[in-house]
């Protein structure tokens, strides 16, 4: 197997670390292998969309989810570093309203699997960061929802060092967790 898998505090949210082959020329690794992904996650759903964003330091994107056509996301960073977060929005889950965060960077080559039923977001820690993710369903703007990044009920410990994040208008106006639409 070319993947080291680490469970987070949220069942189903996994840190995937590919085996990297390096020498004086550089490195090589498989960033995705369907058979191995299915073996470690149990998910055989094909990915239908790839997304790529670039953001500058202090940008916080999230906490996004889709109430219908919920997306599983396999996320990674190809340039820079982010603090990536998943929040469990499955009302029937023992970890409902809990979060897990992990640093993803071009250097550590970690990936995070965020299953459907979770809100997702990230904070850019480096000067810039390029973020790639695969999704298990298409983006439907009419079904997109957001939970506010600093909701006191969830209490995500963002590594902001006293600074305010840079937010999109829709993220600044996101719903409180107590008023958010969630999954059964």
Listed by start position, the domains of the chain span 47-179
Burial 117-153 (b: 16+ CB within 10 A, else e): bbbbbbbbbbeebbbbbbbbbeeeeeeebbbbbbbee
* Residue 179: pLDDT band with limits 50, 70, 90: confident
Q: Please report the pLDDT score of residue 107 as a whole number.
A: 97
The structure tokens 């960033």 sit at 31
Mean pLDDT of all residues in 97-122:
98
- Residues with active-site annotation: 64, 133
Tell me: pLDDT of 85 over 90: yes
Name the class of domain 47-179.
mainly beta
Mean pLDDT of all residues in 42-67:
95
Task: Write down the pTM of the prediction.
Answer: 0.94
Give ∠ CA 155-158-162 in degrees, rounded to 5: 110
- CA 107/CA 125 separation, integer angstroms: 13
Mean pLDDT of all residues in 61-86:
98
Tell me: pLDDT of 1 over 70: no
């Amino acid at each position: 197997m070319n993947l080291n898998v680490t469970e987070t505090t949220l069942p189903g949210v996994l840190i995937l670390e590919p085996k990297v082959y390096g020498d004086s020329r550089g490195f090589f690794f498989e960033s995705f292998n369907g058979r191995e992904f299915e073996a470690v996650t149990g998910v055989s759903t094909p990915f239908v969309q790839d997304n790529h964003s670039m953001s500058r330091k202090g940008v916080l994107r999230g906490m996004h989810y889709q109430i219908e056509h919920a997306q599983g996301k396999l996320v990674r960073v190809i340039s820079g570093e982010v603090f990536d977060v998943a929040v469990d929005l499955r009302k029937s889950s023992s970890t409902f309203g809990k979060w897990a965060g992990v640093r993803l960077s071009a250097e550590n080559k970690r990936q995070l699997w965020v299953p459907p039923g979770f809100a997702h977001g990230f904070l850019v820690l480096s000067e810039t960061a390029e973020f790639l993710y695969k999704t298990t369903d298409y983006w439907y703007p009419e079904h997109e929802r957001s939970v506010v990044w600093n909701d006191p009920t969830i209490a995500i410990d963002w590594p902001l060092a006293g600074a305010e994040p840079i937010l999109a208008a829709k993220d600044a106006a996101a719903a409180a967790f107590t008023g958010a639409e969630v999954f059964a």
